[in-house]
Every structure is written in structure tokens, then in C-alpha cells.
A and B are shown apart, each in its own frame.
Chain A
């Protein structure tokens, strides 16, 4: 655990590096509480995108001219930064993809399609984002395998006592989010990986929510695949990452075919390029993939441990303050078991009405099912309002959220 106290982290100085958060709206500076959907970008990332576009843009891995060479160099540097950020040994274990959704589809179909048979099982959890739910649902339908769920405890954690019953010799794949995008629950990935490996299965981690907010170590967690997105870690949209253990990454068959991913094409057949190129068909999101490296530099310079400690202190304070509001119900475990996401409902206040009223106070939250319809079915509600925190949020943001909810309660005549 980090010993850094919130006061040693200067959230105002962090915030000042995000131009969009320093706009003056009618209600003052925006209170941005939707980073779990997409984080804002610091000036450094925006500047890097601009630098690439203005100074040396070219297609990647093709041109024998100086711009092309510079692009290749920048892309490889970005791969290395990403690898070292998540504890991977080599940049060649990092494949660029469009985002977590495409990455998980590539893993599910590229690895699972040729390996799953009727009788085999894929184990996921009810708290998965649709991106880590629907591909497996489709894959088992196609292969005749079965989809199984790890059960949740009443407070929205995985029930560890059920691991051995659910993950069995029939299990071929365990796919789980490292952190829930609704409940905030942080899952015991290394325990799950150990159990999966014990029965001869692989562990696929959807890291979209945790990678930006707490340290990741793919080696000590021993995950086979980890997938995450650029835009949730202060980077650009349109780029994501598939990390694979070296031997596992070789086992993925391409599911997207075309330029760059081949070594030889004849009239009758094609041969694939080396990994990771064979998983990167077509033109990469070049500018975005390079700027993702800059986003990771930014997180490293700011300090991921300090960011984590700061966000957890915001989470604890926000939870405490929200629970004082009459009719408040927070979904998910207590702050010690989760990251800085709070999904909630206020009695007699429709989540979309609430989000609309918060917007009137310049407080930006998300409402709806957050791409987790099975989870919401389990929770017995169709929608929740979600506040999610990132490095640039401040205690003042927490205060404004609480006041905005009070405003909504007054306007909707609950006070």
C-alpha cells in the first residue's frame, strides 16, 4: 500500500495540465466525473499528437524516407513504454489494436475459435462490460462450448469460495475484468490466474478500468492476455493494446486480414508476418499509438502510486458524503475493495433526470446501464448514475457533486 498522503499530491497542478478542465462554463470549471468512460487528455498528449501531425507524419513500417523512419521509431518507443508500464518483458508482446473491444474480440476468436469444443467451458463474471461478455457469448455459441459465471457476493465482489467449483478441468478460458466499470470492484486477478492455470485454462484480463488507476504487473499476476484502451489512460481514442505472454501471443490466429500482417501473398495462399505485426492488419492508428506512449510517460511522471492514493482518498470522501444523502444507494463493495467509481441511485429520482440536473450544475456524470445489462439485471435496476474519478479530480469536485445532488433533490421536490 502506498503511504503517500493526499496532501502530497497537488491535484490542482495536475488539473491545470488539462486544458478542457480549465474552461470556464456558466457554472464555473467543469466537474468531470466520467473518466471511466473516457479520460481527458493533458497538454503533453495533445502536443505530441500535434507534433506527429505537423512534423513527421507518414504511414508506418512502409516508407524508406526520413518521416517514415521517424514514425517507426516513435511507434516502437511507444510499444516499449507500454510494455514496461505493465511489467511485460518486451515491446514485441504489445500489439496495437483499436481499443479494448476489438482486442477482446481478437483474443476470444483468434485464440478460442480453433481451441474450444463442445463440453469446454469459458468462465466470466456477471460484472463484465459487454466488451468482455458478448464476444464470449458468441464464441461459445459458435463452438458449442458453455459459458459459466463466477458468482458475486451480496456486496458485488467475486465469491472466492466458488472459484474451485466453477473453474474446473473443463474450463479453457477465464476472462475477467481487473476492475468493474460499475461496481468499482477490484478482482483478485492473480488468484484467478493461478486457479485457471492449475486446471489448464488461460486467464484473459480486461484491464480497461484498472490499468490507468493502479499499478499493473502482468508477470507477477501471471495473466496470459491483458487488454486495455488508450482513451481511458489520458491518451487518444481509437487505440488499444493487447499484451500476451510471448507463447500465448503466438497462439492467436489473426481475425482481421489485409495489409501489413502478411509476409507473403500468392494467388492461392498467404503467410503471416511475425507477431505483433500479424495482429495489426491495415494502417495502425499511428498518431494515437504514439501519443499513447506520451500518456504513459505523463502517468509515470505524475506517479501512478500517488494518483492511485489520491483517487482512493476522493473515493472514500465521496462515499462518506454521498451516504449522508437521504435515499442514497451505492452499488458495489466498500471503498477498500474497489477503485474510484461510484454507481448509485437516489430513491425516487430517475438516474437520467439526476444526470440532467447534475449537468445543469456543470457536474458531468454518466447514467444508464454502462454497457453492463446483465449486471444491472442482477442488481434489479435498469439504470444507475455513475461518478468516476481520475488524477485531475479534486475534493472540490466531490463537494460540487454532493451539492448538485442536493440541487436535483430540491428541484424534483424530494426535500
Chain B
């Protein structure tokens, strides 16, 4: 389908690889550039996915997020895709996807995402509206995971 994002494209980097690169960077300047690079690499949503239903509330930037359960080898995993009109937010989405995508609902619920944000220093460098937006995305992903928990 035109505009459909393939899962292969999303599986750019595992969260461990991402963290390793991120932490090798000198300072927030370089880390911010890295997030922007991730943002540029993130596949874009087609116009039909940018609908009201997919909008994540609480973000000052527009964020659209789709998360669907998918059965792979008999195991239910949650496939997440998201897009934003802000390039830095797109970079943050790439971090969330690396952390959450292809995980089972239980793995998603067990993941301490706050510790990850802390480790990356995001709380310190993001504006409060951005932090709220990030937490809005996390809430959306967790609630989808919770409703697919068996």
C-alpha cells in the first residue's frame, strides 16, 4: 500500500545500539543533532494516517501514533508507528520505537521507560511541553499494551 511503513524500515536500531551511540556523544549539542538525524531517518506517515483518531493528546507538536498487536511465531507483539510535524519529536519517536516496538504487551508494561529518559538526560534538556508530549505517547503505548495483555 502506498505510504505503508514496513516493519523492516522501523527496525533500524535496537535500543542498546541506540544508547551506545547516544552516550558516546560529547554533549547535548551532539545528542540533539543525533536525535534530529534519527528524526530524518524515521519513515513518514501517509496523509490518511494523520487523522484525528491517531493524534496523541498533550503534545504541543502534532504527533500521530498507531500501535497494533500482531501475531508473530505464535507470540503477540505490539507494532508501533508514529510521526510528528517536529523533527526533534520525530527523533524522540525513534527512541520510543527502539525501546518499545516488537515487544510483547507484558514486556512493554514491564519496561522502565523513565529510567531510559533519565539515562539519556531528556528530562533535563526537553521543555516541559515536550516532556508532557513524550509521556502522552508513552501512556498511549502502555494503554494499548494493557488492552492486549493476556
Residues of A within 8 A of B (CB): 350, 352-353, 355-356, 360, 368, 382-383, 411-413
Contact = CB atoms under 8 A, between A and B. Distances in A.
Nearest to B40: A413
B132 interface: no
Given A360-B32, A412-B36, A413-B40, A353 B86 contact: yes
Interface residues of B, number: 17
B33 A411 contact: yes
A353 B60 contact: no
Contact of A356 (B40, B62, B85, B127): B127
Contacts of A350: 61, 85-89
A360 B40 contact: no
A381 to B, nearest CB: 11
B139 to A, nearest CB: 20
21 contacts: A350-B61, A350-B85, A350-B86, A350-B87, A352-B60, A352-B61, A352-B88, A352-B127, A352-B129, A353-B86, A353-B87, A353-B88, A356-B88, A356-B127, A360-B28, A360-B29, A368-B60, A368-B129, A382-B60, A382-B62, A412-B87
Contacts of B29: 360
Contact of B86 (A352, A360, A411, A413): A352
Main secondary structure of the interface of B (DSSP, over half): helix
B103 interface: no
Interface in B22-78: 28-29, 32-33, 36, 40, 60-62
A383 B62 CA distance: 11
Contact of A352 (B28, B36, B40, B130): B130
A364 to B, nearest CB: 12
Contacts of B130: 352
Given A368-B60, A382-B60, 13 more contacts: A350-B61, A350-B85, A350-B86, A352-B86, A352-B127, A352-B129, A356-B32, A356-B127, A360-B29, A368-B129, A382-B62, A383-B60, A411-B33
A34 to B, nearest CB: 13
Nearest to A412: B87
Contacts of A411: 33, 36
Interface in B92-150: 127, 129-130
Contacts of A412: 36, 87
A136 B80 CA distance: 44
Contacts of B129: 352, 368
A356 B29 CA distance: 11
Contacts of B36: 411-412
Contacts of A356: 32, 88, 127
